[in-house]
Amino acid sequence: MSRGKTLAFHSYKGGTGKTTLIANLAAFLAKNGKRVCLLDFDLYAPTLTIYFRKTSRFYLNNLLSGEVEISDLLVDLSPELDLKGKLYVGFSNPGKEDVHDIEIKHETKWQLAAIRRFLSAKKMLFEDYNIDYLFLDTSPGIRYWSINTLATADIQLLIMKDNDVDIEGTKKMITDIYDTLSDLGSKYFIILNKVPGASPINELNITADERAFEENLEKHFGTRIVASIPCFCDIQFSRHEFLFAIEQPNHPFSKEIVTLAAKIEGLTLT
C-alpha cells in the first residue's frame, strides 16, 4: 500500500475556523472510507477535547515526553460516528501544567528528543494503522512547535480570512517559514475561510471582482487557493457546532467540505 499524506493545518492567528474545518474534513473523509488520524498539535491552546467532548487517559504530551506509544493515546471515533473508514484522534492535554511545560520548562535536548519520538510515531501510523491521511492541527503563528509540526508535513494548508491583517501576516509567514519548507520538498496552499459576501449556494454567483481578488492573492502568496469557503453564521455563532459535514450533509457548509475533500485528495507534491 502506498504511503499516505501528512497535512498540517496552520494560520497566522486564531479565529480563522481552523479546528472546525479540519475536524469536519477528517470526519467526512473517514465517512467515505478513508483511514484518517487527527492529532491536536495546538499544544499551547488545545481545543479538540472541547470540540469532540472527549477526554483521554493519555495525551500527545505523554508521547512527546516518552511515557507512552502512539497506540496508547489514539481514540477511535469511527464506531460512534458510524463511519465507513476510520477516524483516530489524538488529543493534547488542556491542563495548565502541560501547556506551560511544552516549551518553557524543557531544554533543547528534550525538544529534539520529542521531535524524534513524534517522527517514530508518525512512521507507525502509516505502517501499522495504514493511515491514508494524517492531519495535524497546529498552533497559530510562528512558535517552536508550530514550525516543527509544519516541517514534518508533506503539505501545509494555510487557513485565513480575507482581511488585511490575515493577508499581510500570512505573507510574512510564507516569507519567514514556508519558502524554506518548500525548498525541503513540501508544498503549501491557501484556504480562505469565513469569506463574507460569498454565495453559499452557487459558485457561479462569484463575481469577476472576487475572482480577480483571489488571482491577485495567489500571485501575492506564490501559491494556489484551493478553497474559498463562505461565512455561515449558524455555524460561527453556534454554541457547540459539531461535525455539520456528518450530521447535516445537506447544509451548504457540508457541501463545501465535499468539494474541499476532493481537492485535498488531488493535492500532490509534484
The b/e string for 226-256 (b: 16+ C-beta within 10 A; e otherwise) is bbbbbbbeebeeeeebebbbbeeeebbbbeb
What is the domain range of residue 225?
Answer: 5-266
Residue given cell 518553557 in the structure block:
104
98-116 pLDDT, tens digit per residue, is 655 666 556 788 889 999 9
**Rounded Cα distance, 144 and 105, in Å:** 13
The angle at the Cα of 40, spanning 34 to 41, to the nearest 5 degrees, equals 120
Percentage of the chain beyond pLDDT 90 is 76
9-61 pLDDT, tens digit per residue, is 999 999 999 999 999 999 999 999 999 999 999 988 899 999 999 989 999 99
Number of domains the chain contains:
1
pTM listed for this prediction: 0.92
**Rounded Cα distance, 124 and 94, in Å:** 25
Tell me: pLDDT of 218 over 60: yes
Helix and strand numbers (H, E) in the chain are 14, 8
> Cβ(31)–Cβ(261) under 8 Å?
no
Tell me: pLDDT of 258 over 70: yes
Higher-confidence position of 149 and 102: 149
Torsion angle (degrees, nearest 10) of CA 58, 115, 222, 161: 30
Quick one: cell of 7? Answer: 497535512
35-41, strands of its sheet edge to edge: 75-76, 86-90, 35-41, 133-138, 5-10, 155-160, 187-195, 225-230
pLDDT at position 3, please?
A: 75
Name the pLDDT band for 237 (thresholds 50, 70, 90): confident
155-210 pLDDT, tens digit per residue, is 999 999 999 999 999 999 999 999 999 988 889 999 999 998 654 444 445 566 77
Higher-confidence position of 267 and 269: 267
CATH code, domain with 14: 3.40.50.300
pLDDT at position 151, please?
A: 95
Average of per-residue pLDDT values in the chain: 90
What are the distances in angstroms from CA 258 to CA 20, 60, 108, 191, 248? Answer: 14, 29, 42, 14, 12
